[in-house]
Amino acid sequence: MNTKDISDREIVAEFFERIDQRDEEAAFDLAQFCLPRIVEGNFDAMLDTIEGLSRASANLGSPHAQAFLSEDWTSLRAILLRRLRRSASKGKTQ
């Protein structure tokens, strides 16, 4: 993991703090932050965003989000990260 990934992860965490504080612009700001990172291949930031949104929903009482986080997320995150990185590396060699 490089320094940019660490700072992006910290920024994503700050967006979720703002969401928790009911900042009306926070979710949209997070979406705007994510857009260029998809192209850059910053998969950790994207997966952190999925996790954060799921946790926010779970904290609001969503049983679906709670089940997802407790039953599926850990293994799913690992699988997705492996596949995304594999796809990105194949794209660079073509």
Identity of the amino acid at 21: Q
Mean pLDDT of 54-77: 91
Residue whose pair of structure tokens reads 């039953």 in the numeric block: 71
Domain limits, the chain: 3-93
Identity of the amino acid at 23: D
Question: According to the model, what pLDDT value does residue 66 have?
Answer: 94
Structure confidence by residue, pLDDT tens digits, 77-86: 999 888 888 8
Q: CA separation (Å) from 30 to 11, 41, 73, 78, 93?
A: 9, 16, 20, 22, 31
Report the half-sphere exposure of 2 (CA within 13 A, side-chain side).
Answer: 4
Lowest-confidence segment of 12-16, 40-44, 45-49 by average pLDDT: 40-44
Structure confidence by residue, pLDDT tens digits, 19-41: 889 888 888 898 888 878 776 77
